[in-house]
Structure 1
Amino acid sequence: MQPIHSYSPARRSAANAPAVVDKAMDAQFRAQAGQMGLDPDDRWVGGYVGVEWQGVRHLIEAYAGNVDGAALLEFGCNYAASSIVAATLGASVTAIDVDPGAIALARLNCARYGVADRVDLRHLPDTRRLPFADASFDIILCISVLEYVAPDHLPAVLAEIDRVLKPGGLIIVSGTASRLAPREVHSGRWLVNYWPRAIDRWLLRREPMQRGVNPLPILRAFRRYTNVDLEDRGQSWCRARTAMGQSSAKLRLARALASLTRPFGLSIGMAGSSFSATWRKPA
């Protein structure tokens, strides 16, 4: 496998954006989405790959650079949009999810984009034990997923992520709703992040209300790692967000907040309603 190189916009600008190349598989994807009660034209369903091409692509490029031949795991792949992007960039992708319906639609998604041979999709109902050998992956993506892991499962899940990552490998966490925020980003509810979970039982709810994830257990799980955003003082984070089109005013605000949170071990991207950070495993 080629090493993961530093970011080079000139090299990666040659990569073509993913495009639907198999009309038959596209028709099956659209039919399957409809059977699942989803709109195949929704930007978070049929348009999801385009969204991630303008999002997670820049994270991969800013932090990992050239990923040709890199072994990449997407933890919680949903419909495999990020996996398709990573495969388009040249990575050898393994993608897992606890939802069998999501995996079924992800298979059709990969097929219609012509990357089915580069993405190994697996349904894993319990991610507290991953069916991979130690040190299997160069990069692990956790994109808007850790907030959906049951709190009592999270330590085991994070331990497994640590186990299967190679020494020197990267964990990229992004778009993860934070329980430190006053407003929960997915539901839009104010202050629910601060309510004890026991309140859900008092309200006789069948399903617990959506809350962000507490970043502190994640920080503890990766305390031996190097926080790349602290190490480079947010340069990679800002480079990725600039490529995504984030305004200079928001970047200035993020830098200002980072200067306040840095003494507490919190890097840029960890102070908002959603947090992001990248860690490198010790070599």
Structure 2
Amino acid sequence: MSGARQPGHGHDPATDELRDAHDVLAAFYVERLTGALEASPRDRSVLDLFAALVTQAGLGTEVADVGCGTGRLEPYLAFVGLRPSGVDLSREMVRVARRDQPGFTFEVADLRHLPYADASLPGVVCWYSLMYLPPDERPAALAELARVVRPGGHLVTAWKLGDDSARRGGLTTGLGIAFDVWWLSAPTMEHGLTRAGFETVFWAGRPATDEEDAPSGYLVVRRTGSTPAP
């Protein structure tokens, strides 16, 4: 999930709703998503490309999995030669990640206030985590991602493709939760990342599987050395 908003009860009802819902979803994700990456050669191929680009850039192999959820990507990212760590807004997601993936570091963090120094990361992964950002929060959040990625470094993201409208997620789980989610168009995602200071290296899409409710989009972008647009 996304660490999109400021953590802490009482400051932002939407933040509380998103975080609390994903605290509930942690066990659900373990049940439903364990083995999902292994069963998806397309997802693995995008992560393989990202890993190859990060390694080829020669800036190091440390990558942050922003919105890491249960930490399910970390073993594969390590397998393809990267050194991943994860952050997530949900304390329960982080607790489960630490339990199930003890060889990696996980922290509770807000996407808009990442615990990394300027230009400190060769790569960032945002796997189905940026789609929780409301339109008015996206520029600041994407600028924060650009802040921590070194010029020449890379970011990979996957998300649900759609028409940019808000939806209520979580309703079909039967867990009594709901939260806002945006199924974004490819131009919206690409434009936002470009304005933040990235350039597109690769984009792709795939249709929804029988178990999914929407097609998926993928982008791999490279951090430029130019000043982001205001």
TM-score, normalized by length of structure 2? 0.65
| Contact residue 177 and residue 185 of structure 1 kept, 8 A | no
1:39-72 per-position Cα deviation (integer Å, ceiling 9, x unaligned): 85x341x4356346x4543223224327665011
- 1:230-245 equivalences under 5 Å are none
- 1:145-184 equivalences under 5 Å are 145-174=129-158, 176-180=159-163
Q: CA deviation at 1:93?
A: 1.2
Q: CA deviation at 1:273?
A: 3.9
Report the counterpart of residue 220 of structure 2 in structure 1: 278
> What is the aligned-residue RMSD (CA, Å)?
3.7
Q: Is 1:93 equivalent to 2:66 in the alignment? A: no
Unaligned runs of 5+ in 2: 1-22, 208-213, 226-230
| Contact residue 169 and residue 178 of structure 2 kept, 8 A | no
SS for the counterpart of 1:64 is: helix
SS for the counterpart of 1:153 is: helix
Report the counterpart of residue 222 of structure 1 in structure 2: 194
| Contact residue 74 and residue 142 of structure 1 kept, 8 A | yes
Aligned residues: 187
- 1:5-44 equivalences under 5 Å are 38=28, 42-44=31-33
Unaligned runs of 5+ in 1: 1-32, 190-205, 251-271
Distance 1:97 1:127 in 2: 8
Q: CA deviation at 1:187?
A: 7.0
Report the counterpart of residue 108 of structure 2 in structure 1: 123
Structure 1 residues 217, 66: CA separation in 2 closer, same or farther (over 3 Å shift)?
Answer: closer
SS for the counterpart of 1:139 is: strand
| Contact residue 164 and residue 182 of structure 2 kept, 8 A | no
Distance 1:280 1:134 in 2: 16
Distance 1:39 1:163 in 2: 30
| Contact residue 54 and residue 153 of structure 2 kept, 8 A | no
Structure of higher CA gyration radius: 1
Q: CA deviation at 1:127?
A: 2.2
With CA pairs under 8 Å and 6+ residues apart, which has the higher RCO, 1 or 2?
A: 2
| Contact residue 71 and residue 91 of structure 1 kept, 8 A | yes
Q: Percent identity?
A: 22
More helix by share: 1
1:88-109 per-position Cα deviation (integer Å, ceiling 9, x unaligned): 2231212110000001101111
TM-score, normalized by length of structure 1? 0.55
| Contact residue 57 and residue 86 of structure 1 kept, 8 A | no
